Amino acid sequence: MKKIRYIGDWSSRRLRVRRVYEEYEAHSCASEAIENGQWVVLGADGGAVANAYRYPAATEAALIIAAPDGRVVVYRGARVPANKVTPAGVAKAYGSVDAAVLLDRRYGKSRKAAALAALKEQFAGIYAGAEEEES
């Protein structure tokens, strides 16, 4: 069963910003996590551009974390420069160093395992807070 929790909001979607479809990405991450039985972390963006003319292009960014049981947390609302967008950069835009470590290939297995453990703890806290609000 998929259960999605959104954190943040697009206060005003601008016309000339590359869009990210966070709902589609959240559902695909949840399906992948359930199917593989593993945690899935995705730094989604609306697309990059080559910025030869120094035009100030931006792209929407969403950080999606899915648990193997189908629960998903979607951080949304950030815009990042479209000429230098990376999945780890998306995670850093939301202040999640642990997610950035998981999305960056420069870190070793032990550092990634520690980052995943910290991310799981944060994830559990988000869902525990949500259950308290509902009751």
pLDDT of residue 131: 57
Quote the distance between the C-alpha of residue 108 and its chain's center: 21
Asked if residue 34 has pLDDT above 50, the reply is: yes
Asked if residues 76 and 42 have their Cβ atoms less than 8 Å apart, the reply is no
Asked if residues 11 and 77 have their Cβ atoms less than 8 Å apart, the reply is yes
- Report which of residues 116 and 9 the model is more confident about: 116
Domain presence at residue 44: yes
User: Which residue range(s) make up the domain with 10?
Assistant: 3-130
135 — pLDDT class (breaks 50, 70, 90): very low
Quote the distance between the C-alpha of residue 122 and its chain's center: 14
Asked if residue 23 has pLDDT above 70, the reply is: yes
- Report which of residues 109 and 18 the model is more confident about: 109
Encoded amino acid at 74, one letter: V
Q: Residues 61-82: what's their mean pLDDT?
A: 91
Domain presence at residue 102: yes
Domain presence at residue 10: yes
Encoded amino acid at 58, one letter: A
Q: What percent of the chain has pLDDT over 90?
A: 47
Domain presence at residue 13: yes
Asked if residues 55 and 83 have their Cβ atoms less than 8 Å apart, the reply is no
Give the Cα separation of 117 and 63 in Å (integer). Answer: 17
Q: What is the mean pLDDT of the chain?
A: 86
Please give the tally of structural domains in the chain.
1
27 — pLDDT class (breaks 50, 70, 90): very high
Domain presence at residue 101: yes
54 — pLDDT class (breaks 50, 70, 90): confident
Domain presence at residue 135: no
Q: Residues 28-39: what's their mean pLDDT?
A: 95
Query: Phi/psi at 60 (nearest 5 deg)?
Result: -75, 150
Give the Cα separation of 124 and 105 in Å (integer). Answer: 25
13 — pLDDT class (breaks 50, 70, 90): low
